[in-house]
Structure formats: C-alpha cells, structure tokens
C-alpha cells in the first residue's frame, strides 16, 4: 500500500518559508490472518469458515456403527472446511480392515484401535496418524413396543437367554465384533450349545433390525450406537456391566490416499471437544 510521508527541512532551512516536502513510499500489504495455524477446523471462531486453496475429496472407510454420528459430523465438516467427504460405512470393521489390507485406496480409515495398529504395522496407515475417537458397548434390542426382558444382572441375563425363543446377530465371518464376542461369552457362561440352536446369523446387514422388527427373531444384539438409531426396534439396555465389552473406534490416515492434509484436518475435526458432544449423544462414550 502507498503511505504519504512528510520530510521536514533542516533546522537552518526553517528560516526560509519553503513548503514541506512530501513523497510516497510503497510498504508491503499486511498479511491476512490465518486461523488454521492455531485452530483446528472444529475450533474456528463462530461464523468463520476455513479458507482452502483447493477443495479436496476425502474417501472414508469405516464400520457401520459410527454412521449415526458421522452423518452429522461430515455435514458440519464439509460446511466448515469446503472439502467433500465420500464415505462407505456398509460393512463391519473387520471387513473394512481387510479391504485396506488387500490394497483398497482411501484417505481415512475408522476401525477399531487394534485394527488401526495392524494397518500401521502393515504400512497401510501412516505411522503416527492414529487418533482414538470414542468407544461403544454391546446392547440388546427387541421389536418396538414389545416387553423388555430382564438383563440387569448376570443371572438375569442368563435366564433371559435360555428363555428366549430366538436371538440374532451379524455374521461373525464378516468380522462383526459383537457377534465374535457373544460366541465366546456364551461359551464362558456354559450355554453355547443352547444358544447356537436358537441363533439366527444375519448374512445381510439390513436384516439385523428388520428381522427383529418383523418378529422373526425375538432378541437382537448390536452396538448401542446402531440400535438407538434404528426406528423400528427398542433398546432393552446394555449388557450387564461385568459382561460388557467395548469397541474403541480409532482413525488413521491411509497411506495409499492422495489427500493426507485434508484427511488430517478431518480427523482433527471428528476428535475435537466440540465433536465429542455429538458422539456422546449418539450412544458413544469417551475413549
């Protein structure tokens, strides 16, 4: 910008009534403030939108349990950042991990903490990019409006399982963590044979709620975050505390992706304190 500067005459010249001398000096323009140097995208001042030189398209692979929270978070991130998130949540975290291990290209992965560790050791996730997000427990559900069985203690849960006409869970062969855990739990409780005879394994993921909603299966199991988002079933409650298990969801930047910077911004956003309020509202707990 141009600045007008007055240069006064010397002391001796002040006796002569010459006018002051002016000239122009071009100074560099002040730099625009760069909010993202000190704030992650989720921490920008109210109403501020992060400036981006280029809108990136971020490919996200994740298990379906995070869907209720991610739908809301992705919309907020896109609005704040200008980036676009293309996501695939249609599968268990085990299946998503296998897709990455076999070379599928993505920018960000959200699977279990243990699986992020495996992907890092295999060079599929960038070392040091892991960020733990939230954890979620196992819940039990029934058809909407149906009476809710007693599951408040280990003995009550055991009695309910043995009295149930049928139960159902996702296919453990697809890497569904809840199903894998329940198989081991029933064995430890000494009721594996009885439960196997009355178990329906949902080969199609859409069936995990629809079969219970129709009454084809009496009791279903899934992660709590998915149950509370399903409109046609009711959450009975979590497993009794001594039997409960949690899946810790963690994120990482996929090495094969081309949007590492934008992917990192996305991870910082979904793990920010502001975003954690959404995770909690969707049935998750702090990691």
Q: What is the pLDDT of residues 146-191, one digit of tens each?
A: 999 999 999 999 999 999 999 999 999 888 889 999 999 999 999 9
Most confidently modeled of 10-24, 54-68, 143-157?
Answer: 143-157
Query: Is residue 12 domain-resident?
Result: no
The pTM assigned to this predicted structure is 0.74
Rounded to an integer, the average pLDDT of 17-31 is 47
Instruction: State the CATH number of the domain containing residue 178.
Output: 3.40.190.10
How many domains does the chain divide into? 2
Question: Is residue 175 domain-resident?
Answer: yes
**223 shares its domain with 145:** yes
Is the same domain home to 116 and 196? no
What tokens were used for 269? 């956003």
Asked, for residue 21, whether it belongs to a domain, the answer is no
Same domain, 67 and 131: yes
Is 208 a domain residue? yes
Residue 207 lies in a domain: yes
Would you state the structure tokens that stand for residue 122, as one six-digit string? 């295999």
Torsions phi, psi for 79 (to 5 deg):
-65, -40
Q: Euclidean distance between the first and final Cα of the chain, in Å?
A: 51
Judgement on whether residues 96 and 159 belong to the same structural domain of the protein: no
Q: What angle do CA 75, 77, 80 make, to 5 degrees?
A: 110
Q: How confident is the model at residue 53 (pLDDT cuts 50, 70, 90)?
A: low
129 and 92 fall within a common domain: yes
Of 225, 262, 249, the C-alpha closest to 67 is 225
CA dihedral 188, 191, 195, 197 (to 10 degrees): 120
In a domain, 185, yes or no: yes
Average pLDDT of span 1-18: 45
Query: 150 and 156 in contact (C-beta within 8 Å)?
Result: yes
Q: Are residues 78 and 216 in the same domain?
A: no
**Per the domain annotation, does 28 fall within a domain?**
no
26 inside domain: no
Surface-to-core class of residue 158, CB atoms within 10 Å of its CB (0-12 exposed, 13-18 middle, 19+ buried): middle
Give whole-number Cα distances, 164 to 167, 180, 217, 220, 285, in Å.
7, 20, 10, 11, 29
For 189-247, write each residue's pLDDT tens digit: 999 999 999 999 998 877 889 999 999 999 999 999 999 999 999 999 999 999 999 99
Give yes or no: residues 252 and 122 share one domain: yes
160 is in which domain, residue-wise? 136-246
My answer on whether 71 and 105 are in the same domain is yes
pLDDT at 24: 45
């Amino acid at each position: 910008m141009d600045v007008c500067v007055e240069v006064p005459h010397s002391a001796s010249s002040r006796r002569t009534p010459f006018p002051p001398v002016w000239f122009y000096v071009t100074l560099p323009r002040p730099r625009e403030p760069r909010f993202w140097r000190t704030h992650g995208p989720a921490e920008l001042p109210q109403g501020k939108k992060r400036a981006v030189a280029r809108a990136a398209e971020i490919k996200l692979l994740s298990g379906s349990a995070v869907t209720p929270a991610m739908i809301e978070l992705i919309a907020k991130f896109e609005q704040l950042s200008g980036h676009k998130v293309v996501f695939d949540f249609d599968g268990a975290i085990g299946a998503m991990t296998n897709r990455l291990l076999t070379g599928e290209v993505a920018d960000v992965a959200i699977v279990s903490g243990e699986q992020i560790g495996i992907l890092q050791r295999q060079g599929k996730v960038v070392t040091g990019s892991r960020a733990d997000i939230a954890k979620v427990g196992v819940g039990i559900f029934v058809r909407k409006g149906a009476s809710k069985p007693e599951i408040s203690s280990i003995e009550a849960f055991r009695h309910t399982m043995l009295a149930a006409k049928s139960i159902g869970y996702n296919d453990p062969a697809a890497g569904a963590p809840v199903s894998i855990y329940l198989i081991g739990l029933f064995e430890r409780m000494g009721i594996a044979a009885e439960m196997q005879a009355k178990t329906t394994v949902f080969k199609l993921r859409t069936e995990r709620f629809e079969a219970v909603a129709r009454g084809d299966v009496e009791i279903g199991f899934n992660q709590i975050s998915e149950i509370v988002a399903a409109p046609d079933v009711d959450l009975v409650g979590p497993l009794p505390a001594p039997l409960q298990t949690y899946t810790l969801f963690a994120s990482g930047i996929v090495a094969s992706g081309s949007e590492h910077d934008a992917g990192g911004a996305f991870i910082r956003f979904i793990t920010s304190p502001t975003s954690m309020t959404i995770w909690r509202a969707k049935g998750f707990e702090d990691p």
